Structure 1
């Protein structure tokens, strides 16, 4: 009794569509084989009987094989009564599973199974612009968007939506954060600047706690939280308040339509900034000589990064050292 109960429990643990598939196949094989035995003249082979069972039970009814004896017709009636209900339940279950899967995806409930993807935290106009830029530069890069304010997925190619709190481990596990390439945290537009920064840092701590090696870029709105973001392990801190103010002041001072130039800084335009290690042939050369050499490769030398110090447009006599990194604008 215990063994039979165990078997029943094991059977019931199978997904419903698996069980229905096995039952329908069993009905087709059994009734098809029986019909080939009962009416061998009309169904010369077992395959003919199985073919008749499939056509009949699916309600297609080609009419190429028809039982003629009373026994054969009785078997056919029994198969239709028993089988049609299971076939209907089978197709209804498959349809329901497909609809449920689609709803699960649209509502952000389906986990992401890919690897080497970019996790984008927060949905706003900045996030939308970043997605377009990234897909223009790397069209096959998978992006996982995590947001708890969206109710349905923004239908964008290569973007997988996860609805939930990004400071929750379960949400990050759905995004497969352990196999991600990087994470970008945008400031929450629904909070004030201080609360938005505190929330972003909390998300950063959660990301680093789950995957300490994850490369994290965070947007900070206030100066006094920048140090906390650095202590929390941010690999790159974007101080959007400084960038915006600098661009606005530069536009005012230039008074000559610099906003069109700023739009060209978008990687989607075909040009992008890169930080490159210094090659052996550039060590010891001046900024002027290095600029001329890089121009031959259609790259513009913008500045030099030396440790924590960054120099943009240094003096032409500034000497390049072995441990420096070159900031270039290239395509």
Structure 2
């Protein structure tokens, strides 16, 4: 009774194996049996079992090398049965294999496959700003970076040929972020949803930020906020950086009104500063207590241009030359 139960249990498990594995095992079993039979019937033509097994493999695969051929009527009858039975299984195996490959490729394109890498960049939301952001990331990196795009409106990966893994789903749901392997991500960039009005877009961004920080409190997050009223909520939700795109746009427009052609100049300047040229530096111990002017001259000798100071969250661009450098300051510089 126990033996019957064990056999039934094994059969049940076998039926739940992947289809390709089941077909491959059946092919091996059938060819092994027919290999043993042909070796028994024609031992002179098939000196051992492996020769018989080899003959069954090339026969069912329709290769037919002809190095082993049955010569008796019974042997050829066995060959006919093998061709009728075995070839069907082999053909089914290759068809299933091809179908599985196509299905896997489609799943990748449609964002249904979980991401398994680590130290990657997760970009949430899709718009032209995101497209340009991903292009810039790829262009300024000397080695390919792993990037994951999360969006629920896209039907397929728009950047499948640019080392971008796509996850389709609502970014405020745990299962979507877990599919993007949020727990091992290095950065998360949250873009405002352009299909919603500004207030709703900011509420969604803050909710997504809360979900991200709930799953991985250590990941560095950059969130785009459109309305000034939601900036504090973004900081409260744990944002490491808040980008107020509407404020940036208004600054560019005002400067263009005051000085015609300034918008193009600003864009060119930002394009030249992309990557690692514009950065914050921790203050060296030897520079504490020195004036902004003196520190600027010291850094110029190192081909580094000092343009400002970040102090307790506030950034001073081109401060008075006699401003003293303090211990916890960060120096805003431009360097190659």
- Which runs of no fewer than 5 residues in structure 1 stay unpaired? none
Q: Which runs of 5+ in 2 are unaligned?
A: none
Contact 1:121 1:166 in 2 (8 A): yes
1:10 aligned residue = 13
Match for 2:57 among 38, 54, 66?
Answer: 54
CA contact (8 A) 1:119 1:184 kept: yes
TM-score normalised by the chain length of structure 1: 0.94
Q: Is the 2:253–2:263 Cα contact (8 Å) retained in structure 1? A: no
- How many pairs does the alignment contain? 331
Note the C-alpha offset of 1:291: 1.9
Alignment of 1:1-40 (within 5 A): 1-40=4-43
Alignment of 1:1-331 (within 5 A): 1-138=4-141, 139-154=143-158, 155-266=160-271, 272-331=277-336
Q: Which moved more, 1:198-207 or 1:150-159?
A: 150-159
Residues 171-207 of structure 1 deviation map (CA, whole Å, 9 limit, x = unaligned): 1111000110011001101011111111111111111
Does the C-alpha gap of structure 1 residues 18 and 66 become closer, same or farther in structure 2, counting only changes over 3 Å? Answer: same
Query: What is the alpha-carbon distance in structure 2 between the residues aligned to residue 246 and residue 162 of structure 1?
Result: 35
Provide Cα deviations, 1:17-59, integer angstroms capped at 9, x if missing partner. Answer: 1111111122223323432343233334444323222211011
CA contact (8 A) 2:255 2:262 kept: no
Distance 2:36 2:284 in 1: 76
Distance 1:270 1:6, change over 3 A: closer
| Per-residue deviation, 1:97 | 0.9
Q: Report the 3-state secondary structure (helix = DSSP H, G, I; strand = E; otherwise coil) of the residue aligned with 1:266.
A: helix
Partner Cα distance (1:298, 1:23) in 2: 70
- Supply the distance in 1 between the matched residues of 2:45 and 2:250 (Cα, whole angstroms): 87
Aligned counterparts of 1:240 and 1:256: Cα–Cα separation in 2: 20
Once the 2 structures are TM-superposed, how far is the Cα of residue 268 of structure 1 from its aligned partner? 8.3
1:89-121 CA-partner distances (Å, limit 9, x unpaired): 211211111111011011110100000001100
CA contact (8 A) 1:133 1:268 kept: no
SS at match of 2:294: helix
Secondary structure of residue in 2 paired with 1:237: strand
Does the aligned pair in 1 maintain the 2:220–2:240 contact within 8 Å?
A: yes
Q: 8 Å contact 1:182–1:215 — kept in the other structure? A: yes
RMSD across aligned positions (CA): 1.8
Change (3 A) 1:64 1:283: same
1:101 and 1:171 mapped to 2: Cα distance? Answer: 19
Structure 1 distance, partners of 2:59, 2:259, is 80
What is the distance in 2 between the residues matched to 1:126 and 1:281?
42
TM-score (norm 2): 0.93
Contact 1:266 1:272 in 2 (8 A): no
